[in-house]
Chains A and B, each alone.
Chain A
Amino acid sequence: MNYQMIGFVIGRILWTEAALLLLPELTALLYGEPLLPFLGPIALLLLAGLPLRRRPKQTALYARDGFAVVALAWVLMSAFGALPFVVSGYIPNFVDAFFETVSGFTTTGATILTAVEPLSQSILFWRSFTHWIGGMGVLVFVMAVLPMTDGHGMHLLRAEMPGPSVGKLVSRMSDTAKILYGIYLVMTLVEIALLVVGGMPLFDSCIHAFGSAGTGGFSSKNLSVGAYDNAYFDVVIGIFMLLFGVNFNLYYFLLVRRFRDVFRSEELWAYAAIVGAAVLAIATDILHMYESFAQSLRYSFFQVASIITTTGYATADFNLWPTFSKGILVVLMFVGACAGSTGGGIKVARIVILAKTSWGDMRKMLHPNAVTTTRFEGKALTDKHIRSVHLFITVYLIVFTVSFLLLSLNGFDIVTTFTAVTACINNIGPGLEAVGPMGNFAGFAWWSKLLLSFDMLVGRLEIFPMLLLFAPSIWKRRRIVWRT
């Protein structure tokens, strides 16, 4: 374990967070709001990073160091990021503020606030800005700005980026990170511009663009996007949510004119098919609740886009929709967005691989001697890949089940408990019943909030970094000898 290098990277991340806090500080300055809620944490972050500023001689980070760095960085960032809420007095309880910040960074969008409109502009800005930072990942950002390690850095990227197989776009990791952040930034700016053109105030446009770019879901309105009741906003935000749910590698391929790779992306087709089918099914199912098909299509489209990309914005209280529609939405919660996007969930790529291998294995039952190879994105899948997908799903289900059982101790009804865990582990935000789109997580006990915070981090970091943080061999200095 390279403790010194882990410390160094963590120190740099804390300083990066301090720099990022300058933006809400600026907002506070613009709106004439108190500056202390941000100045305090900035000073604290700078101070905390000070003893870690020395770059160690040995800079290699191996696999376990990578996992440890990523998990620790996210926990620490959330802890420090919660301070503005506490200091400003809007969320005096630290556990609540921690939940809110974790929900922000992991792009979940679950809130413990019963009303968001009383919050000051700068706090609202920080709350949504955490989505934008967390969407693409902090370590990716730090790598883009400061190249840190000589080698083995791939472990860091892999631990933070969502998806079953993480590749680089270009050979330099820092260049890859720059390209990704470049695409991310430009798309966010385009969305802000489109919303402003449609008549949304600039501040609200930023908030909702951050929310949809990171596929987070924090809004500045109690009624979420539904507060505007504007079809143009619904369409713009809906489309952009779907766009941010697409693998970012495809945008890079578009940029370098590799159109064929985009067109042939199996995951993209599957994603489009799932979205299309779900939109039509729900639109038909809720037709009787609205005046016209166009109306029901509008609400159905927005909600499907919001849920499959794990954003969690709402234009309608889908808690009141028929059970079939709610069922589809809950299934979509598990499916999630594409690998390599800012969205959460199991990811379309894994679902496709799982479906294909299951089909192949079943065919083998009928023809025991048949040779089956499963192909994905035009390449034959190796056993290692398939096993890693199976492992992911298995561990995912175990974590889900344990969390569900523990949360049920809190005494809520079964739908609330189930969808609360679903919404948190898949980084969506709203669930059904008490935690539905118009509800919130305020009613949970403090330990439930910590459990759900853990689930959100598990979901965002794709399970293993958070779980491996508890593996003894990560922290023990000596090798553990297993006696049998």
Chain B
Amino acid sequence: MKINRRELLRYLGWKGQDIDTGTQKAIDEVCSSCTLTARPAHTAKAFDYDGETLVGTDFTPQGNDIRRHLEGCAKVIVLAVTIGVETDRLIDRLFASSAQKAVIADSAASCLVESLADDVCDELQRKYGPLTARFSCGYGDFPISAQRGICALLSTDTRIGLCVDAGGSLVPRKSITAIVGIKGGGKPFPFSQTDKCALCGNKDCTARDTESK
């Protein structure tokens, strides 16, 4: 788990501007305190999948996009990762003293949890063979409300301290749940590829890394 600096700058809206020494110093300092504060934890479970429901459960991932994403997979893995509540506290506390550092910390923590999820998927891929990309609630028409079912399936509250609010928000804030399909063959997914924008087809996206092809 690490902070990909390029990704961090992209989250902060960087488009190649000069980075003065003060800003650079703040970024370095915040990255190191975010890394120290993070308490990474994860949990994952494999299920048979019949194209609709996770077999042996009452959980059916809703929406056409997730169904399309998992097409052809006889098994799927449901996973959840978090870097813990201390990071939420760090960001809240920083806002009282330096909004700049709080803004950087918020993005740095996002980088960390994304990287953690990638590490976990890499590990799962080594064990289960080629996987699809991660697909999370809120992507396409896969509703946020599915968070509750996912967290209940994995007992994330008692296993990794990850809760879901009534509205579907994950707490700690810097957490990810996702479903990946086990493809049963083909090419492994490049979870650790550093240039995320290159994996995405939306060339008009305002947040796109300017150097991505």
Verify that A and B bind, or say they do not. no
The chain A residues found within 8 Å of chain B, CB to CB, are: none
